Amino acid sequence: MGGPAVTVIIVDYNSGDYLQPCVEALARQSFTDFEVVIADNASTDGAADRLRLPDDRFRIRRMGSNLGFAAANNRVADQSGAEFLALLNADTRPEPEWLGALVAAARAHPEAASFGSVQIRLDDPDTFDGVGDVWHVAGIAWRALEGQPRRPIADAAIMGPCAAGALYRRADFQAIGGFDERFFCYCEDIDLALRLQLAGRGSRRVAGAVLRHAGSGTTGRVSEFTLYHGHRNRVWTFLKNTPGLWLWLFLPYHVAADIWLIWRYRKQEGVSRILERAYLDAWRGRAAYLRERRNADPARFRRMLRLMAVTPWSASRRLDITAPAERL
């Protein structure tokens, strides 16, 4: 086969001072059989224009408009001929062994379609930013161990990787249609993870794939954009990926979680209004996602429950849910 083994995709939208150090960290990778496409979503901050590309493996692709994280990744994936797609946020700094560890794990575990990193906070190297995405049966997602003290972590089967630093087999990514572009940004990675699991393709965390991550460094951790898209999209993720009678079993938990979140932020008028708008728009758009859930396999979903959180306190503790890596 010609061409590199990996296409690394960095979606850039007003990434500012984060972008150049991220690109330079990629240039220092011990694994070198890759290309890098910086997909610029019509940024206005000049970061892409000022970017110094380390060598001819790196190129900028101008998307023409702000397509969002999901669509920009899909467009680059469509043009890639590589075996693997590595997704990397602009606000990350991968360590030199990061990409090599992901590729080695992928070649050692053909049962898995995706591989996740051990993420450390960019401003605090002693604190986890996340070690894989977790999905609660009530329709809530989080990065496992986020905010907890850094400690030795093991390889494990997980629900899915955080797309801030993840590796996917391109064939699997393409086979299920890539990211859901209706999401625009946020929750597209856990939605993809659930769809891959429902297709019988697992995911693994790779302890040797370490990167530092600012976490919503370009969009703002509690911005209106982040809150709106995150909460709207998690409702859609729940509706489209909870098949059969499982939806009706877990729907009361989901509604209770939404009500609790609104109550929690009741004194923050701006936040509560954003959440109400997100849930209202999610409800208005529900029909398409409820139709799509008919394609999901209830029996396979039942087997996936071993990788899901179920206790009410799981989210607040950012629990890490893992399992042995046998095929689903």
Which tokens sit at 67?
A: 């397509």
Residue 196 in this model has a pLDDT that exceeds 80: yes
pLDDT digit string, tens, across residues 298-318: 999 999 999 999 998 998 899
pLDDT score at 265: 84
pLDDT score at 217: 46
pLDDT digit string, tens, across residues 53-97: 999 999 999 999 999 999 999 999 999 999 999 999 999 999 999
pLDDT score at 323: 83
pLDDT score at 279: 96
* Distance set, CA 257 to CA 14, 81, 251, 263, 312 (Å): 33, 42, 10, 10, 9
Q: What is the mean pLDDT of residues 203-210?
A: 98
Residue 221's CB: how many other CB atoms inside 10 A? 10
C-alpha span between 223 and 67 (Å, rounded): 19
Strand order in the sheet with 140-143: 140-143, 133-136, 308-309
Which tokens sit at 304?
A: 């996936």
**CA 150 centroid distance within chain:** 21
Q: What is the mean pLDDT of residues 160-180?
A: 98
Q: What is the mean pLDDT of residues 265-291?
A: 92
Share of the chain above pLDDT 70, in %: 96
What does residue 306 show for φ and ψ, rounded to 5 degrees?
-65, -20
Confidence grade of residue 324 (pLDDT, cut at 50, 70, 90): low
pLDDT score at 25: 98
pLDDT score at 223: 84
Which residues of the chain are in CATH 3.90.550.10 domains?
Answer: 6-213
Specify whether the backbone of 156 is left (phi greater than 0), alpha (psi in -120 to 50) or beta: beta
* Distance set, CA 189 to CA 143, 155, 192, 209 (Å): 11, 20, 5, 18
- 20, 52 in Cβ contact below 8 A? yes
Which tokens sit at 322?
A: 């893992």
pLDDT digit string, tens, across residues 101-112: 999 999 999 999
**Environment class of residue 84 by beta-carbon count within 10 Å: exposed (0-12), middle (13-18) or buried (19+)?**
buried
- 26, 225 in Cβ contact below 8 A? no
Confidence grade of residue 207 (pLDDT, cut at 50, 70, 90): very high
Going by their DSSP bridges, the two strands 34-40 and 58-62 should be labelled as: parallel
Residue 214 in this model has a pLDDT that exceeds 90: yes
Closest CA to 92 of 12, 233, 211, 11: 211
Which tokens sit at 264?
A: 């929690």
C-alpha span between 194 and 179 (Å, rounded): 11
Confidence grade of residue 272 (pLDDT, cut at 50, 70, 90): confident
Max CA separation in the chain (angstroms): 59
pLDDT digit string, tens, across residues 4-29: 999 999 999 999 999 999 999 999 99
Q: How many residues does the chain have?
A: 328
Q: What is the mean pLDDT of residues 148-166?
A: 97
pLDDT score at 215: 73
- 38, 51 in Cβ contact below 8 A? yes
Residue 213 in this model has a pLDDT that exceeds 90: yes
Element housing 165 (H / E): strand 165-169
| The CATH number of domain 6-213, selected from 1.10.20.10, 3.40.50.300, 3.40.50.2300, 3.90.550.10 | 3.90.550.10
What is this structure's pTM? 0.94
Mean residue pLDDT of the chain comes to 94
Q: What is the mean pLDDT of residues 213-234?
A: 80
